[in-house]
Structure 1
C-alpha cells in the first residue's frame, strides 16, 4: 500500500453521498425489524396480525427491506466512503453518477414498497415464479439494479482515475476490495436483471401467457448466491483493512487479502445450482459440479480466518502477551469499533459450518426448505454481516458528519451487540433445531398449527418469538446510536481507521490487478457451469404438459 498517497479523511462532498445511503439503510432497518418482530410473533401461534395485514405481506417487507434495501444501501454508502478515503475524492462526474444511482435505487425501492403495502407483491424477497407481482414491483426492482450499476460504475471510475495518476503503483487495499465486490455484483445481477426484464415483467404485463419457472429460478440463483458474498465482502473489508488499525496492529498480508477477494470473485457466481439440489430438470452431474465449486469458496474463508487470528496474535505479542492465548487479553474489548465486528466474526464459525451442510449434495436434503435454512441465513447475514456493519457505522457515521463517538455511545454499542447476540442465540438456535424436526420455512403457524407433528415445533416457535423480541430491542438501541452519532453527538473529528501492511512486506503482484485475466477466468467459469445446463433446461421445458399447466395456476 502506498501510504503517502492516501488522504486522511473522506471528502465532504462524498460524505454527503455516503450518508444519504446510510439514512435509507437505517430507515429500512427500523421498518424491516418491526416486520420481523410481527413475523416471529405470528409463528409462535400466540399472536394474530391486526388490521387485516397478511402474514406473507409482512414476510415480504421483512425480506426485501433487510435482505435487499438495508444491505445494498449500506454497502454502497460504505464503499463510497472507503474509495474517497483511500483513493481520493471522486470527480464531479463520478459523484454525479453516484447521486443518479442513489436516486434510481431510492425511487425503485419506493415503487416496490408501495406495491408490497398494497398487497400487490407478496412474493417474498426471492419473488419466485409462479408467484406474480404487479408490474410496478418489477420495474422498481429494475431501477434498484440499474441504480446500483450506475453507482458502482462511479466507484470503478474513481479507481481507474487513481491507476492513471499512479502508474506502476499498487492500488490502496480498500479501494481494490471495493472494485472486486462491485464487479462481482454487476456480473451477478445480470442474472436477476435478465429474469425480471425478459420473463417476469412481460408476464406480469400480460404480454406473455407463461414463463419457464425453472429458467427463472436458475437465473435468480445465479444472482442469489453471489448476493451473499456481496453482503459478506464489505465485512471482510472491515476485518482485513480496518480492524488491524483499531487494535494497533498491522495488516497480516496485503497480498493474501487481495488473493482471497479474487477467489471470491471467481467462485461465488457459478455455484447457484447448490440452491436447487432438490429441483427436477437439472442434470445431477451439473449439480455436483457446482457443489464442488461451492466448496472452493471455503478456501478464501479459511484464508481470512488465518489472516485475522494471525493479526490478533502478532499484535498481542508485540504488546507483551505470552502463552498460547495471552494475546486475547491485549485486544481492546472495551472499544465497540473492535468488539462488535469481532462478535460478528466469531458468529461466522457456526454460520460457515451450517453453510457447508446446506451446500452438501446429501445433507442438503435433510434441511432443504426447512426453517434450518432461515436460521443459517440469520447467522450469516443478520449476525456476521449486520453486526460488522453496525461496528463500521459507529465510527463511519461520526466521521462523515463531523462528530465524535462518545464514551456513552461506545458503551451502549457494546451493550447493543450483546443484546443482539443473546436474541440471535435464541432465535437462530431455535430455527436450526426446529428445522431438524422438519418445521417448514416461511409458513404461517395457522397453516400447520393443528398437525400432530407441529406440537414438537411449538416450543421452538416460542423461543423464536423470544429471540425476535430481544433482537427488536437491539434494533431500537442501534437506531438510538445512529441518530445520536448523525445529529446530536459532540462536534469533532472521528478517525476513519485504515490499516497498513507490515514494514518491508513485498509489493503485491501486479497480476492481481490484471482485470482482463480475472474477468476472463470468471466468464469462462460461468459459461462452463451454466451454458449447457441452461440449453438443456430450455430445450426440455415441459410447455403444454399437465404439470406445466398446474404450475401456471399457482
Structure 2
C-alpha cells in the first residue's frame, strides 16, 4: 500500500495516535514531578506521605526523557513512513506489537518507581539498585522499540524493491537513519540491563562492575540525545519549508548531515565520563575529538535552514538585509514553536561544547549547569518542535482543524514556555557555575556555607518551573481540543518539495552498507581497547562494586 496524497488511513492514524496519547499523558505527569522538584529545592515544599525527592526526580527524568520522547518519536515516524513509503497490513500488525510491548514495559518500570522500589534516577547508576521488575520493564521498552526499528527498515526495503534506481523519499531516509542510530546505541544499554543489572538485582551476581555499566550506559546515553534531536531536524528540513511556502534547500545536504550524525554520535560516550577513574585519558581525548565532529552537521543544518528562510523571503519580494526574517509567518504556531526551539539550540549547543571540553567540564561537572543544559536541548529545542508538529499532525490524524483560536493559544503557550525556560534554565546555569549540585534536595545542602549563594537561584527555578507547568497545562488542553473538540475538517500533512533546479542527490548517500560499516568501525576503534582495559583491570576480591561513585 502506498500512502495517498490526501492523507493517512484511519488504521495508520489510530496507530500513531496511540503513541501520542502516551506521550501527552507522560508530559502531564512528568511536568508535575518537575514542578514538585523545583519547589522542594527552593525550600518551599516538603513532600507528603513519605514520598522522597528521589522518587519524584526518577519519575521526572524517566517519563520525560525516555517515555515521552520515545513514544512521540516512534509514533511520528510511523506517520512519516506511512505517508511517504506506505505500510502493509502485516507491517502495521508488528507496529502495534511494538506499541504493546513498550507500553507493558513502561507500566512495569513506572509501578516500581511509584512504589519507591526504583528510585535510581534517570541514569539508574549502580550501585543504586532497583527492583528486578524495573529492569525487566526497561528491557521490554527497548525490545518494543527494536520491533519498531525493523518495521521501519522493512518499509523502506519494500519501497526500494518497487522503485529501483530511485532515491528514497527524504523523510523515509531520515527515519531509517534515526532508527539505525537507535538500534546500535540501545545495544549498549540492553547489554547492561540484561547481562549486569537483572542478574545482580535477582541476587544471582554478588558484584557489579560499575565502570562497565556506566560505560555501556553512556555508549547509549549520548546518541540518545540525537535520537531526540533528529526527528526535530526532520521537521526543520522537510516540513517547515512547506509551512512557510518554500522548498527544501538541499536534499543532498540534508541527507549528508543525517549520515554524519549517525557516524559521530555513537562512539563518544567517554565525554560524559571525563572524571571517571579507570579510563585512559588518551581514549577520553579521542572521543572528545569525535564529539566535536557533530558540530559540523549542526552548522550545516543551521546554514540550510536560514538559507531556506532567506531564499523563500526574497522570492516573496521581501527586501532589505533582514526583510525576509521580519516577514516569516510568526503568527503561525506550526512555524513559531519550532522556530523558538531552533533559536534555543544556539545557547544549548554552546553549552554542549562546554560540557564536552575536558577542562571546562571540570568546572560544571555534576552541577546544576548540566541540568540547565538538558532543559535547553531536549526540553526546549526538541519539545517545542514536537509541539509544533502536534499542531498539524494531531488534527490531520483526527480529522479536525487547527482553528485560529487554537493557533493563538499555541502562540501563547510557546511564549509561556520560552519565558519559563529562560528563567529556570538560566538560573540553573548560573547556580551551577556557583557550585550548586545537581540531583540534590534542599534539605541536603540547605545548611551548607554555600547555600545562601544558591537559594535565590533555586527560588527562580521554582518560579520558572511554575510558569512551565502552566505551559504544560495549556498544551494538554490544546491536545484535547485538537483530538476531540476542534471542528471536523482536513488539515494538511505538510511535506516540502525540492528546488526545481536542484542538483541530483549522489547515490552513495544511500549506500547503507558503507555508512553502517563506517559507524561500526568507528565504534570498534573508540571502544574496543579501553573496554578490554576496563574489564582486565577491574578490582578483584570481595568488593561489591568495582569502581567508586561520583560521576555525572
Q: Distance in 2 between matches of 1:5 and 1:537?
A: 50
What secondary structure sits across from 1:503 in the alignment? coil
What secondary structure sits across from 1:527 in the alignment? helix
Question: 2:172 matched to which residue of 1?
Answer: 175
* Contact 1:439–1:457 (8 Å) recurs in 2: yes
* 1:45-89, Cα deviation, whole Å (9 max, x unpaired): 12111111110000000001000000000000100001111112x
Question: 1:48 matched to which residue of 2?
Answer: 46
Per-residue deviation, 1:6: 7.0
Question: 1:446 matched to which residue of 2?
Answer: 443
Question: 1:340 matched to which residue of 2?
Answer: 337
TM-score when scaled to structure 1? 0.98
What secondary structure sits across from 1:363 in the alignment? helix
Q: Distance in 1 between matches of 2:457 and 2:96?
A: 45
Pairing 1:29–2:27 present:
yes
Inter-CA distance 214–324: structure 2 relative to 1 (3 Å threshold): same
Which runs of structure 2 are paired with 1:247-326 in the superposition (5 Å)?
247-326=244-323
* 1:180-211, Cα deviation, whole Å (9 max, x unpaired): 00110000000000000000000000000011
Which runs of structure 2 are paired with 1:450-465 in the superposition (5 Å)?
450-465=447-462
Which runs of structure 2 are paired with 1:213-232 in the superposition (5 Å)?
213-232=210-229
Q: Distance in 2 between matches of 1:210 and 1:440?
A: 29
* Contact 1:7–1:86 (8 Å) recurs in 2: no
What secondary structure sits across from 2:354 in the alignment? helix
Pairing 1:429–2:451 present:
no
Pairing 1:115–2:133 present:
no
Question: 2:11 matched to which residue of 1?
Answer: 13
Q: Distance in 1 between matches of 2:181 and 2:139?
A: 18
Q: Distance in 1 between matches of 2:545 and 2:167?
A: 54
Q: Distance in 2 between matches of 1:28 and 1:152?
A: 22
Q: Distance in 2 between matches of 1:494 and 1:144?
A: 32
Aligned residues: 548
Gaps of 5+ in 1: none
Which runs of structure 2 are paired with 1:175-194 in the superposition (5 Å)?
175-194=172-191
What secondary structure sits across from 1:362 in the alignment? helix
Quote the RMSD (CA, aligned, Å). 1.3
Comparing 289-298 with 325-334, greater Cα deviation is found at 325-334
Question: 2:92 matched to which residue of 1?
Answer: 95
Q: Distance in 2 between matches of 1:113 and 1:546?
A: 31
Per-residue deviation, 1:10: 1.7
Per-residue deviation, 1:546: 6.1
What secondary structure sits across from 2:359 in the alignment? coil
* Contact 1:87–1:172 (8 Å) recurs in 2: yes
Per-residue deviation, 1:506: 2.0
Q: Distance in 2 between matches of 1:63 and 1:215?
A: 22
Which runs of structure 2 are paired with 1:500-539 in the superposition (5 Å)?
500-539=497-536
* Contact 2:3–2:82 (8 Å) recurs in 1: no
Pairing 1:491–2:488 present:
yes
From 38, 56, 59, the counterpart of 2:57:
59
* Contact 1:336–1:414 (8 Å) recurs in 2: yes
Question: 2:76 matched to which residue of 1?
Answer: 78
Per-residue deviation, 1:5: 8.7
* 1:259-288, Cα deviation, whole Å (9 max, x unpaired): 000000000000000000001100000000
* Contact 1:251–1:499 (8 Å) recurs in 2: yes
Gaps of 5+ in 2: none
From 351, 355, 366, the counterpart of 1:354:
351
Q: Distance in 2 between matches of 1:548 and 1:101?
A: 35
* Contact 1:6–1:87 (8 Å) recurs in 2: no
Which runs of structure 2 are paired with 1:363-402 in the superposition (5 Å)?
363-402=360-399
Moved over 4 A (4+): 545-552
TM-score when scaled to structure 2? 0.98
Q: Distance in 2 between matches of 1:185 and 1:170?
A: 23
* Contact 2:211–2:546 (8 Å) recurs in 1: no
